[in-house]
Amino acid sequence: MSLTWLLPVSILFLAGFSEEIKQSRVVNIGAILSFGTTNGRVAKIAMNAAVQDVNSDSRILGGNKLVLSIHDSNYSGFLGIIGALQYMETDTVAIIGPQTSVMAHVISHLANELHVLLLSFTALDPSITPLQYPYFIQTAPTDLYQMTAIADIIYYFGYREVIAIFTDDDKSRNGITILGDKLAERHGKISYKATIPPEPASMHDQVMEELCKIRMMESRVIVGNTCTKTGFMVFNVARNLGMTDKGYVWIATNWLSAAMDATQILTDTANSIQGVLTLRLHTPDSKIWMIANAVKLFLDHGDIISFSNYSGLNVLDGTTLNLDALSIFDGGQMLLKNILQTSNWPY
């Protein structure tokens, strides 16, 4: 059974300095997070601590100092894109994030053009492929591994049909699509797909409507691939409908184990998730400074981190946007090669 899949929680670092600031030996890195999320809050603390660790050891970057700038996207894809543009205007060679797959798809187009690396530990949509987006690096396994594990569990216990409940966004939809493929390989299938809107305004009514439909169906095996708020609402409503009693099998993706680790669960919600099977991420013990080491290798080889004007903007002459500030990271391809060849890759 493929039940073990890895997620590194150490924050990865990348660095660069422009021609204008060589003398100060400053290395600019950026991050796009939502401070209102558990991942965002924890990552912010971890990244600041890791920057201090890297800067305190001159052997890592040979005296270069990391300068970390963190942009709060505040759950907004628009603000996330603005943050990425701001970093790419200031000779930042790598951005940690974004947190969501939707933002990753959009910002990866910018990264492709300007050769700025994006490294995300939460945007794990398998449809974001290195062939289409070579400068986007998922620093943890995609949902392919998790859905394979769930399909193995379902097959092991002899179930052939399951019902999927998922949030109506790219990541959740693509994850369920992969689950369907993996079940088909094991002669199983998803008999019904229930989508839950991401907006809270209509969420409760939609959850109630979908669960009432599911209660009338033959299958009693339900897989939930949602976010924390939506997932807890699903379980609370299901409990009120008697759908968490004996006879039902609930399997939740890793959102549930992450929420249990990071938040205090209310008593009613704790009662609603009794008996639910969830996957917990396995994090191996490792010192993951692979990007900082890749930068060190880059500099040790005598390569100079520099930026060039982006000629592709010539077609936009006459616009009022400050796009002229965008520049291409000249060493992006070499740094990407160093990262992909590291022997400290987490999986």
User: Is the same domain home to 159 and 47?
Assistant: no
User: Is the same domain home to 149 and 137?
Assistant: no
User: Is the same domain home to 147 and 267?
Assistant: yes
Note the pLDDT tens digit of each residue in 13-22: 443 434 443 4
Residue 67 lies in a domain: yes
> Which whole-number Å values give the CA distances from 37 to 74, 197, 231, 236, in the listed order?
9, 19, 15, 21
pLDDT at 306 > cutoff 80: no
User: Is the same domain home to 250 and 157?
Assistant: yes
Higher pLDDT, 126 or 95: 95
User: Is the same domain home to 208 and 322?
Assistant: no
**Residue 334 identity (one-letter amino acid):** M
Q: Cα(193)–Cα(189) distance, rounded to whole angstroms?
A: 11
The three-point CA angle 6-7-9 to 5° equals 145
pLDDT at 322: 58
Helix (H, G, I), strand (E, B) or coil at 318: coil
Kindly state the tokens that stand for 53.
Answer: 């660790």
Tracing tokens 């990271």 back to the chain, one arrives at 329
**Whole-structure pTM value:** 0.75
Q: Average the pLDDT over 306-332 and give the result.
A: 63
Higher pLDDT, 320 or 230: 230
Note the pLDDT tens digit of each residue in 81-122: 888 888 888 888 889 888 888 788 888 888 888 888 888 887
Residue 55 lies in a domain: yes
Residue 3 lies in a domain: no
Residue 177 lies in a domain: yes
User: Is the same domain home to 206 and 289?
Assistant: no
User: Is the same domain home to 134 and 147?
Assistant: no
**Where among 226, 255, 274 does a domain terminate?**
274
pLDDT at 242: 93
Q: Average the pLDDT over 271-282 and give the result.
A: 87
Residue 2 lies in a domain: no
User: Is the same domain home to 118 and 151?
Assistant: no
Confidence grade of residue 329 (pLDDT, cut at 50, 70, 90)? confident
**Beta bridge mates, 249:** 221
Residue 310 lies in a domain: yes
User: Containing domain of residue 86, as a range?
Assistant: 19-141+284-340
User: Is the same domain home to 168 and 269?
Assistant: yes
The total domain count for the chain is: 2
- The domain that holds 33 is classified in CATH as 3.40.50.2300
Please check whether residue 176 is in contact with residue 164, taking contact to mean a CB–CB distance below 8 angstroms: yes
User: Is the same domain home to 230 and 124?
Assistant: no
User: Is the same domain home to 147 and 258?
Assistant: yes
Q: What is the DSSP letter of 324?
A: G
pLDDT at 51 > cutoff 50: yes
Note the pLDDT tens digit of each residue in 2-46: 333 333 333 344 434 344 434 447 778 899 988 877 778 888 988
Kindly state the tokens that stand for 116.
Answer: 């700025």
